[in-house]
Structure formats: structure tokens, C-alpha cells
Amino acid sequence: MRCCAELLAAAVLALGIAFATPTRAGGVPRLDETAALRASQAVIGTTPPDFTLLDRRERPVRLADYRGKPLLVSFIYTGCFTICPTQTRTLHEAVKGLDRMLGPDKFNVLSIGFNQPFDTPQAMRAFAAQHRIDYPNWEFLSPHARHVDALTRAFGFSWVETPAGFDHIVGVTVLDAGGRIHSQVYNDRLTTEALGAVLRALMLGAPPAGGAFSLEELVERVRILCTVYDPETGEYRYDWGLLFEVLGGLAFFTTVGVYLWRERREQRRIRRACATPLANAAH
């Protein structure tokens, strides 16, 4: 829960709930972890405002630009040499383990620098390069200094300035495709298995586009459904037995459906054939 580095920081975040910042011996401030966890849980089910931030190339992007897919949001500061790099690499390993089940085009990841004005686009770009984060669905963003408090509060992210840097809550906020906060995944559960379970639930529970499943959407859902987490490799893999069971079930129901459709069509043909002589006799 602690990041260490010598950096000038912004004022302590007003969390929207009243609590005093506890102090260590000697009067050094520290994060009230109980209150921080409570604040992070309080925002679940809410939709953060549509803030505008800068990407690594200094281009403005809006949070709304990432809607349409699940989104993972991690708050960091680039001057940290311990927890933030570790958190980012841990998230990177977790995301890599999702490749087989989801692929990088099925969700997005954001790392947001909260220590302004120091976490500039240039600093975020250097941080990403240093830790070799090169996923096409992963962006590093810099908010404007005046938006930091409101932005972090909207995501339930708590931090406290200390002489050594910051104490802050460590984890990832998961948003659904509509931009609503679905859950918080904390550092001790920041694994491929935990993130995979959350993203699987979001994707399988999402309503079909246009109100009905297309063949492509149906195939994609079957593919996601037929993956399981392998603790030996730390990745998701296909469960071929389950896949064959699902395909066998689909084949069965398809066969039954075709049979019933043909029977119904045959019954209509017979009724029309029977009705024709009666009509001729009436004439």
C-alpha cells in the first residue's frame, strides 16, 4: 500500500467521507487503509464523469472514448521506484495471461499518473518504455492538475502525501463497457485468474448488439466460455472437452430446430394440399 520516492505532491485528497489521516510515530502521515478501502467500494455501480486527459503523445482523450469494452484503470506516479513499478509489471503479467481467452482487442487498460504536474505525457511515456509495456490496448494518461482530486475521488482511489512520497491504495478499478464501475481488484488479487473471472463475467453478461446474437458474437461467447485458468502456466487455456460438449449441444439443438422447422413446413404443405380440392369442389 506504500510507494516511496522524493517528490513534491499535491494536497491530500478529500475523500467525500470524513476521516482523520492517522500518523506514524514522529507525526509522519499515513493512509487510513480501512477508510481507503471503504471509499473504493463506495463508488462501485457509479459512472465517473467524462474527464479529458492527455496520452503519451500529448493528444487529448476522453474517458468516454474507451466505452464499448471493459476497462481496467490503475493509478500510479512515475517517481515511484517500488510499488508502482511492481504493480504495473504485475498487471502486465496478468494481462498477458488473458491473451488466449480474450485477446488485446476485447478490453482496454489505462495507467493514470496522479502526481501532477510531474506525471507529464513525457514522464508517462518514459515509464511505459522503462517497464516495457507495449500492449496496443494499454495507454498511459496524464490528467490536468486541477482534475486530479475529482478524478481520483470518482474512482475511489485514495492517497496521502508523505515526506518520502505517497501512501496510496494499490489495485485496479474495473469498468464495464458502459463506463460504470463494476468492481475493485486489489493488489493481493491482481492476478490473471482474478481479472479473467471479472472480465469473463462482464463479457458473457453483456447484452448482444442490436438485441440479438450474431453468429460472430455467439462463436466469441462460446470461445470465452470454453477457456479455463491453468495454475501451472498462469494463463487461460482452451478446455477442449468442454468445447466439444458445447459444440455437441449446439449441434443437437440445431438439428432439433431444423427438424421442427421442416415438420412445420410439411404440415403447412399438407394443409394447403387438402384445402385445394375442397375449394375446387365448392366451385
Q: Topology of domain 2-236, per CATH?
A: Glutaredoxin (3.40.30)
- pLDDT given at position 53: 98
Q: Is 68 left (phi over 0), alpha (psi -120 to 50) or beta?
A: left
Taking each helix axis from N to C end, the angle separating 240-282 and 215-225, rounded to the nearest 10 degrees, works out to 150
Rounded Cα distance between 178 and 71, Å, is 10
- pLDDT given at position 50: 97
CB 111 within 8 A of CB 88: yes
Residue boundaries of the structural domains of the chain: 2-236, 239-282
CB 33 within 8 A of CB 111: no
pTM tops 0.75, yes or no: no
Q: Note down pLDDT in tens along the chain; length 283 residues.
A: 444 333 333 333 333 333 334 555 456 678 889 999 999 999 999 999 999 999 999 999 999 999 999 999 999 999 998 889 999 999 999 898 887 677 668 899 999 999 999 999 999 999 999 999 988 899 999 999 999 999 999 999 998 988 878 888 899 999 999 999 999 999 878 888 888 889 888 888 766 656 665 666 666 666 666 676 777 777 776 665 555 555 566 666 677 777 787 778 777 777 777 766 655 555 5
Task: Give the chain's end-to-end CA distance (angstroms, integer).
Answer: 91
Instruction: Please name the residue that has the C-alpha cell 403447412.
Output: 268
Q: What's the grid cell of residue 168? A: 496510496
Residues 158, 80, 51, 95, CA torsion sign: negative
